[in-house]
């Protein structure tokens, strides 16, 4: 990374940060995106897991799907369908309650899931952008009209504008000395487990919403999102209460309990070939900040993400996109 002064640095390659970066890049700005992870998309994440025959399964272990209501998001979906990286998955899910499964009923509202995994959404937004992963930003310093972006190794970028797509609890060191308050956002955590099976479940539903189960709230047959021939695989998501009670345990400790919970609902799993567990400490905002984001025009410093409230429909994938697009409009030249 060079010491040249960029127009914009975006810290965080979640969907909101990528949406903002793409708009500003399209407006002719020199934009760089930095993220501490190994890839883009944030919680719109897809993980590969191997079956015994070596075939790779793709499992959406963060966000499960996405819905659209806003005109611009509908345009993104239409383009994704034309380009082939997106398709409709389902219009309703089956429900488990009191030990019984009731069949899926269509509510007429499409849920979208890319065949290659939900991370394809972030990859589409990131296409053509200057993205650097594996970079943990630790501090921001403003000298004159230029932001100096710092990591443990030293300065990693300079820019006239900085946009942050970072969970609220991780913003404190970045906002220190700026006078910008950390948004009042609270999150539910989530444990998730992905399982590759030797055979499919004896089921016809794409996913199962659980009501009143002590451990699980969601089971998805992930291969129903994928092209034909994808290995049978299921994704398990624990309830917020169970996830919070088990937050500091290791994946190896929680995985057997999540598999046992799945057997409690589904019966014997047909040949577990591989499995993993993943913890999301900041999974779902349960208290969000008002407004679509935050923009300090004097300092050219902005915040975005699904912890804000760009519409009335809850903390969804679309909310992150709307927040990022809003912030790009404020920061545009």
* Tokens 């049978």 found at: 232
Please, are residues 50 and 56 in contact by the beta-carbon 8 Å criterion?
A: yes
* Tokens 């069949």 found at: 103
Please, are residues 239 and 231 in contact by the beta-carbon 8 Å criterion?
A: no
Q: What is the pLDDT of residue 106?
A: 74
Q: Please indicate, yes or no, if residue 33 is contained in any of the structural domains.
A: no
Checking DSSP bridges between strand 130-133 and strand 31-35, what pairing results, if any? Answer: parallel
Average model confidence (pLDDT) across the chain = 96
Average pLDDT over residues 263-288: 97
Q: What is the pLDDT of residue 257?
A: 98
Q: What is the pLDDT of residue 53?
A: 82
The span from the CA of 300 to the CA of 118, in Å, is 31
CB neighbours of 117 closer than 8 A, spacing ≥ 6? 46, 58, 59, 60, 225
Structural domain total, the chain: 1
Please, are residues 101 and 95 in contact by the beta-carbon 8 Å criterion?
A: yes
Q: Please indicate, yes or no, if residue 225 is contained in any of the structural domains.
A: yes
- Given a cut of 90, whether residue 264 has pLDDT beyond it is yes
The span from the CA of 46 to the CA of 28, in Å, is 31
Q: What is the pLDDT of residue 103?
A: 82
Q: What is the pLDDT of residue 173?
A: 96
Average pLDDT over residues 224-253: 97
- Given a cut of 90, whether residue 276 has pLDDT beyond it is yes
Helix (H, G, I), strand (E, B) or coil at 19: helix
Q: Please indicate, yes or no, if residue 147 is contained in any of the structural domains.
A: no
Q: Please indicate, yes or no, if residue 107 is contained in any of the structural domains.
A: yes
Please, are residues 33 and 19 in contact by the beta-carbon 8 Å criterion?
A: no
pLDDT > 90 fraction of the chain, expressed in percent and rounded: 94
Q: Please indicate, yes or no, if residue 237 is contained in any of the structural domains.
A: yes
The span from the CA of 154 to the CA of 208, in Å, is 47
Average pLDDT over residues 227-231: 94
Let me know if 250 is exposed, middle or buried by CB neighbors in 10 A (0-12, 13-18, 19+). Answer: exposed
The span from the CA of 66 to the CA of 326, in Å, is 19
- Owning domain of residue 201: 52-66+91-114+186-286
Q: Please indicate, yes or no, if residue 16 is contained in any of the structural domains.
A: no
What is the separation of C-alpha 263 from the centre of its chain, rounded to a whole number of angstroms?
27
pTM of the model: 0.96
Q: Please indicate, yes or no, if residue 135 is contained in any of the structural domains.
A: no
Q: Express each pLDDT in 33-61 by its tens digit.
A: 999 999 999 999 999 998 888 889 999 99
- Given a cut of 60, whether residue 153 has pLDDT beyond it is yes
CATH number at residue 190: 3.90.660.10
Token pair listed for 74 = 């509908």
* DSSP secondary structure, 149-207, as one string: EEETTEEEEEEEEEEE---GGG-HHHHTTT-PPPP--EEEEEEEEEEEESS--S---SE
Q: What is the pLDDT of residue 259?
A: 98
Q: What is the pLDDT of residue 3?
A: 67
- Given a cut of 80, whether residue 66 has pLDDT beyond it is yes
Please, are residues 253 and 91 in contact by the beta-carbon 8 Å criterion?
A: no
Please, are residues 306 and 324 in contact by the beta-carbon 8 Å criterion?
A: no
Q: How confident is the model at residue 214 (pLDDT cuts 50, 70, 90)?
A: very high
Q: What is the pLDDT of residue 2?
A: 52
Q: What is the pLDDT of residue 281?
A: 98
Average pLDDT over residues 258-283: 97
- Given a cut of 80, whether residue 108 has pLDDT beyond it is no
Please, are residues 318 and 69 in contact by the beta-carbon 8 Å criterion?
A: yes
- Given a cut of 70, whether residue 1 has pLDDT beyond it is no
The span from the CA of 105 to the CA of 144, in Å, is 59
Q: Express each pLDDT in 122-141 by its tens digit.
A: 999 999 999 999 999 999 99
In sequence order, the β-bridge partners of residue 187 are 285
The span from the CA of 12 to the CA of 9, in Å, is 10
Q: What is the pLDDT of residue 139?
A: 97
- Given a cut of 80, whether residue 105 has pLDDT beyond it is no
Q: Please indicate, yes or no, if residue 137 is contained in any of the structural domains.
A: no
């Amino acid at each position: 990374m060079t010491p040249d002064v960029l127009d914009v640095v975006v810290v965080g390659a979640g969907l909101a940060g990528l949406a903002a970066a793409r708009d500003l890049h399209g407006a002719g700005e020199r934009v760089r995106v930095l993220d501490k992870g190994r890839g883009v998309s944030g919680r719109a994440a897809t993980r590969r897991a191997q079956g015994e025959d070596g075939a790779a399964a793709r499992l959406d272990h963060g966000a499960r799907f996405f819905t659209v209501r806003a005109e611009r998001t509908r345009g993104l979906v239409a383009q994704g369908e034309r380009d082939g990286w997106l398709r409709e998955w389902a219009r309703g899910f089956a429900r488990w309650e009191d030990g019984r499964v009731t069949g899926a009923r269509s509510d007429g509202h499409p849920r979208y899931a890319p065949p290659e995994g939900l991370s394809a959404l972030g990859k589409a937004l990131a296409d053509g952008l200057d993205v650097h992963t594996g970079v943990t930003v630790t501090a921001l310093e403003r000298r004159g009209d230029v932001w100096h972006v710092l990591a443990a190794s030293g300065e990693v970028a300079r820019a006239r504008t900085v946009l942050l797509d970072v969970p609220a609890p991780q913003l404190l060191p970045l906002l220190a000395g700026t006078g910008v308050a950390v948004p009042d956002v609270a999150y539910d955590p989530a444990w998730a487990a992905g399982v590759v099976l030797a055979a499919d479940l004896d089921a016809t539903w794409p996913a199962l919403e659980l009501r009143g189960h002590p451990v699980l709230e969601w089971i998805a047959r992930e291969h129903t999102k994928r092209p034909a021939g994808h290995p049978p695989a299921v994704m398990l998501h624990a309830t917020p209460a169970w996830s919070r009670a088990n937050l500091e345990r290791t994946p190896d400790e929680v995985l057997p309990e999540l598999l046992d919970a799945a057997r409690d609902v589904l019966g014997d799993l047909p040949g577990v070939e591989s499995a993993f567990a993943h913890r999301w400490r900041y999974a779902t905002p349960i208290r969000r900040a008002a407004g679509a984001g935050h923009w300090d025009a004097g300092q050219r410093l902005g915040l975005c993400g699904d912890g804000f409230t760009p519409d009335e429909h809850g903390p969804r994938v679309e909310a992150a996109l709307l927040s990022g697009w809003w912030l790009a409009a404020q920061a545009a030249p």
